[in-house]
Each structure stands twice: as C-alpha cells, then as structure tokens.
Amino acid sequence: MDSLPALDRDASPEALPDSPAAEAPTFLDRLFDAGLLVRTGVDGLYGRSGAFESVVEALDRLVSRLGADDKAEVMRFPPGMSRSTFERSGYLKGFPHLAGTVHSFCGNEADHARLLACVEAGKDWTEKQAATDIVLTPAACYPLYPTAAARGPLPQGGLLFDLQSYCFRHEPSLEPTRMQLFRMREYVRMGSPDEVLAFREVWLDRGTKMMAGLGLPLAVDLANDPFFGRAGKMLANNQRNQNLKFELNVPVNSVEKPTACLSFNYHQDHFGTTWGLTQADGSVAHTACVGFGLERITLALLRHHGLDLDAWPADVRATLWG
C-alpha cells in the first residue's frame, strides 16, 4: 500500500468548528432542534428531514458520477437478507452482537389474546416470537456474494457491482454518526488479487478527492472491524497487520475520535471461498469493496459547513447540486 495518498493524519482542533462548551447542546441535540433528524425514542434510530435526505441523495448521485466510467452492474437489495445465507457468510463468527434477526408471531387466536394481554400489562410479549427466514442486512454487499457465485465462474477480467441499502447494526449510541439503521453505498469488485487491489487503490484516490472536494478535513487510516470478544482481538490484529482495511476519517463528534465515512476493504479470498466464487481460470476469486456511509458523510458536512444547507460554501453546493 505504498501508493496510499499522503494525507494529514492529525486533524487539528481547528478542523472542528463550533465545538460546543460543556453545557451547550450536543451535536445530536442541535440536529433535532434544527429538524434535520427526528427523535423516535430509540438511540441511533432517527427520522430524516427533507433537507437531510436531499444531501444523502446528492451524495448518492455524486458517487455514481465518480464511478460512471467503470460501468458497474447496478443491483439493489432490500434491508433484509436470507437467514441461511447470513449464517453461511461467517458474520456471526465476528459480529454476533451487531446482527439483527427478524422474528414473527406464528400463533393462533388464543396466543394472540395472550400476546395482547402481555402488551396491555406492559410485560414482555416478544418471547413467543419465532425467527423468520430473514436477517437484517449488516453491510450492503452481504447479499451479493451468493448471487454472483450462482452465476458461475467470473468472466475474464472479473466483475464490478454497484450497491446501496439500509443496513442494521445493534449498537445503540448517542453519537449521531452511529445509527442502528443507516444507508451504505458500495462498489464491489470481484476478480484476481491484482484486479481487486487495483480497484481499491483507485477508490482510495477517488474517495479522498471527493471528500476533500466537499471541504472536509480528513485522514486515511489503517483500520479493523469491531470483532467480538477476545478471539476478535486477534482477528482485528491480523486484519491490521495485513493492511486489509482502510478508513477515511473525518472529525464529526470529536477530533480525538474521528468518524469513518468511507471504508476500503480487501477481503482476500474470504467470500470467494465461502461462496465457491471462482475466477475464469477456476481459481478462487478475491473481492474488495469501497463503502460510503451516506448518513455519516451527510453529518460530516452538517458539522463542518453548518446546519443551514443554503449557507454551505458555493463550491460544495455546486458539487452536490450542480
């Protein structure tokens, strides 16, 4: 990864305007007060105003424009995926604490009466809910790998996909950048190690230029996924030692703990092996993806350019809304 773009790795305190005093409302409170996010009573679960959505949609179009020449195949999955696919994906090994399974009522009328009595009495009515065949999508690319593998070996030169979906992660938080339901845009490359690493290089460059062009202070850093438990620490170390994950960080909640707005991931042959996805020559396919956290980038823009979209710098507005 010698060709990583040289970036300022120490965002200065000046990079975060209007840092609130101790008694001042938090950034989340200010987003609520401005009506940009809407309270639901659950941490990390918010409604979005039309203004907020207009930024998300503009970012989505911007990412499309940056990748347009590559002619990725567009595919969109709903926010839930097959449970059996999810089980086979290996997600539960690394991130059992983040997953969300969907459960439903399968009882008769007597069971229904008991359920309603529980709700009425404020007791737990969810124990009788039974797992359905659906699990919430943890990352936009998870439903893609078995879909691609079902088509047979990759063509010469591999494949490139364009994805976006709502994703779920069970990590209630008061940081507005850590939502339980959020949208992730992704490009996913499948092919030889050289092909997928070249893809990641291209997007490290494009993503960095995109975010700098939006007037955001940033740093690209080696990173790891939030693996569960002690064994997870080893997995995280391995991931770092092999330079598998980079994140593009922007100070949003604080300068000390900047927010990963984009991530650049090399999965090696993990998904290829898991799903029997092969290259044209029969060898196992490698994969890589670049992910854009659409709400996180929106929040970074709101933090740095202010809560009034009309007052954003003219060049940023031009980039988003031409």
Residues in 144-203 that interact with its own copies by CB under 8 A: 147, 150, 162, 166, 168, 170, 172, 179-182
Q: Residue 271: which of 147, 168, 166, 187 has the closest Cα? A: 147
Q: Which of 54, 288, 311, 55 is nearest to 186 (CA)?
A: 288
- Is 322 among the residues that bind its own copies (CB under 8 A)? no
Report, in angstroms and rounded to the nearest whole number, the Rg of the chain calculated over CA atoms: 21
Which residue is listed with tokens 């670049």?
Answer: 290
Q: CB neighbours of 107 closer than 8 A, spacing ≥ 6?
A: 115, 128
Q: Which residues contact 270 (CB under 8 A, 6 or more apart)?
A: 90, 287
**Out of 34, 92, 198, 280, the residue judged to bind its own copies by CB under 8 A:** 92
What is the total count of residues that contact its own copies (CB under 8 A)? Answer: 71
Q: How far is the C-alpha of 191 from the C-alpha of 217, rounded, in Å? A: 33
Strand pairing class (181-191; 80-82): unpaired
299 touches its own copies (CB under 8 A): no
Q: Any contact of residue 257 with its own copies (CB under 8 A)?
A: no
Instruction: Give residues with Cβ within 8 angstroms of 313, minimum separation 6.
Output: 215, 305
Region binding its own copies by CB under 8 A among candidate stretches 71-79, 194-202, 267-275, 282-290 = 71-79
Q: Give the integer Cα–Cα distance in Å for 138 and 77.
A: 12
* HSE-CB of 274 using CA atoms within 13 angstroms: 22
Residue 243 interacting with its own copies (CB under 8 A):
no
The CB-of-151 to its own copies minimum distance in angstroms stands at 10
**Closer by beta carbon to its own copies, 30 or else 200:** 30
Interacting positions 94-113 with its own copies (CB under 8 A): 96-107, 109, 112
Q: Which of 4, 7, 34, 115 binds its own copies (CB under 8 A)?
A: 115
Residue 66 within binding range of its own copies, rule CB under 8 A: no
Q: How far apart are CA 136 and CA 210, in angstroms?
A: 30
Pick the stretch among 17-25, 67-75, 233-241, 277-285 that binds its own copies (CB under 8 A).
67-75
| Smaller CB separation from its own copies, 137 or 263 | 137
Minimum Å gap between C-beta 319 and its own copies is 22
Is 234 an interacting residue with respect to its own copies (CB under 8 A)? no
Single residue of 4, 7, 15, 45 touching its own copies by CB under 8 A? 45
What are the phi and psi torsion angles at 127 (to 5°)? -60, -35
Among 42, 117, 174, 234, binds its own copies (CB under 8 A): 42
40: contact with its own copies by CB under 8 A: yes
Cβ 287 to its own copies shortest distance, Å: 17
**Does residue 76 interact with its own copies by CB under 8 A?**
yes
Q: Is 132 in the site for its own copies (CB under 8 A)?
A: yes
* Nearest of 128, 103, 131, 101 to residue 113 by alpha carbon: 128
Q: Which two tokens stand for residue 291?
A: 């992910």
CB of 262 to its own copies, least distance (A): 21
CB distance 251 to 175 below 8 Å: no
Instruction: Please report whether residue 219 would count as binding its own copies according to CB under 8 A.
Output: no
Question: Considering beta carbons, is residue 99 or 284 the nearer one to its own copies?
Answer: 99
